[in-house]
Amino acid sequence: MSPSRILVTGAAGFIGSHTVDELLASGLDVTGIDDLSTGRMANLSQALSHPRFSFVRGDVTEPGKVEGLCERFRPGAIIHLAGLVSVTRAQSEPDLNFRLNLLATHLVAEAARKHGVRRLVFASSAAVYGDQAELPIREEAPVSPVGMYGTAKLASEKLLLGYAASYDFEAVCLRYFNVFGPRQDPASPYSGVISIFADRLSAKLPVTVYGDGSQTRDFVSVRDLARANRLAATAPSIPGGGAVCNVCTGKRRAIAELTEILRGFFPRSPYAQFAESRPGEILHSCGDPDRAEEVLGFRAGVDLEEGLRELVTYVADSTPRASA
């Protein structure tokens, strides 16, 4: 049975707010929690006026916080998006990484177990794969995370799949590839390359490409990703009670190609500047999308050009205009 009530952690973030909008548009009741350390209330401007949405400001690592929400709201599913998104801070502050990623996931899983939540959807990452020689990357590929961020994501996956095997609920771990779209903060040093490039080009500033631009990524629109989150939470059943699925397009696009597409949206924008490759950077990344389609009925539908057009429109609408 599909749940009618869903709890979203990290609801005011880039991905969380789009997920909330997607759930509400599908007729579901949604409660969101966010401590607003990186999330923004402006991201929830549409949702806050919706009669089926409620918001709680709070920290999911606070003892009893998520349990209290489960007791009051009685969600059928939890989409757990809260966590430390900074790869750099996860590496330099391992205690913080443990608390915001591993401990938070454990507390959410315990709340789900104790209060009869049917399913838990977890925001994992392609970072668990590390540098893979064989593309596209399938979920069965050997995992080899580089650094503490990917390690925490992988450990959280194992924890949730263990819960699903031991207790009466299902777990879906979604390995996000390179997500982009409106509401991604370009001012953040941890933001994706697309939002940073779009922000600079809109200001007629050059972008910096590290290496020769031939490195490739699998870029997936946040609109598609929000739909994947919804399908993971509402699919009739999960085979075996636990699943790991890539959220990707299965298509590789070069950074140099991406730059030229973006420049086409900004007339008279400067050409890219090239700098030396950064040590340890993965050259090529692309996921296999087939399992997500088999298990969840999900396949990405927003192509790169369409997604970039949406982002550029958002950037233009968000840019302050000088008064006459």
Whether a cis peptide bond, with omega within 30° of 0, leads into 320 is: no
Question: Residue 63: which residues within 8 A CB-CB, separation 6 or more?
Answer: 107
Catalytic residue among 149, 176, 210, 271: 149
Residues 136/137/140/141 CA torsion (nearest 10 deg): 120
Query: Is 149 marked active-site?
Result: yes
Contact, 226 vs 28, CB < 8 A? no
Question: How far is Cα 232 from Cα 176, in angstroms, rounded to an integer?
Answer: 13
DSSP for 54-116, written as a single string: EEEE--TTSTTHHHHHHHHH--SEEEE--S---HHHHHH-HHHHIIIIIIHHHHHHHHHHHTT
- Give residue 84's identity as a one-letter amino acid code: L
Contact, 166 vs 179, CB < 8 A? no
Closest CA to 154 of 130, 120, 119, 118: 130
Contact, 150 vs 285, CB < 8 A? no
302 DSSP assignment:
-
Contact, 225 vs 183, CB < 8 A? no
Ramachandran assignment for 116, one of left (phi > 0), alpha (psi -120 to 50 degrees), beta (any other)? left
Closest CA to 259 of 311, 303, 308, 189: 308
Alpha helices in the chain (DSSP H): 14-25, 65-73, 87-92, 94-97, 104-114, 148-166, 193-202, 222-234, 255-265, 290-296, 304-318
Residue at token pair 């923004």: 40
Active site residues: 149
